[in-house]
Copies of this chain bind each other. A is one copy, B any other.
Amino acid sequence: MKLLEEKVLKEGIAVNENILKVDGFINHQIDPELMKMIGEDFAEHFKNQGITKIITIESSGIAPALMTAYTMNLPLLILKKSPSKVLNENMYQTIVTSYTKGSSYELTLASHLINAQDHVLIIDDFLANGEAATGAIRLIRKAHATVAGIGILIEKSFQPGRAKLEEQGFYVYSQVRVSKLGAGIIELTS
């Protein structure tokens, strides 16, 4: 997506070879008009596929996922992160370990909000190692629902997330693919 590529190149801050800060327009300050266009791009890309729900993971995925859901006129489900495992029979639950952050969290989805007829589009801000998306997929499978695809704002294409998801047969669409990062260096793949 041209507009987001330009934003990343102009306003993204490459801290080192792994960290790209996009606090100014995605994570901390949000430009609602840009989010609307991001949502419209996902809606166009995933149209006519029988998608019934949008799913995202709190909290940075909420804004783009909401605009996608709004454009597609579909409900949005926000997967909740909680630090500790509290078993709840009305919840689908799974543990996600973030290699980047060196921590684990539990991802939950209320079982009455999804069913086997649902065909789901997952939206998230970043794709790196793919742990969060894989966790979301585990929850969707527990409900016997199906995954239409994974829509990502910014993919770090030098990390294995895409390959892991594609190996499992999932379709990934990234609006921006970052092929290389370094202090002050951002390279994109078109």
Interface residues of A, Cβ cutoff 8 Å to B? 23-24, 27-33, 35-36, 58-59, 62-63, 66-67, 69-70, 73-78, 80, 83, 110, 113
Copies of this protein in the assembly total 2
Q: Measured between alpha carbons, how far is A113 from B24 in the docked complex, in Å?
A: 8
Residue of B at shortest CB range from A80?
A: B28
Contact yes or no, A32 B76, CB < 8 A: yes
- Which residues of chain B are near A23, meaning CB under 8 Å? 110, 113
Centre residue among A27, A36, A62 by max chain B CB count within 10 A:
A62
Contact yes or no, A78 B59, CB < 8 A: yes
- Which residues of chain B are near A32, meaning CB under 8 Å? 66, 69-70, 73-76
Contact yes or no, A78 B110, CB < 8 A: no
Contact yes or no, A30 B75, CB < 8 A: yes
Residue of B at shortest CB range from A114?
A: B29
- Which residues of chain B are near A66, meaning CB under 8 Å? 30, 32, 35, 62-63, 66-67
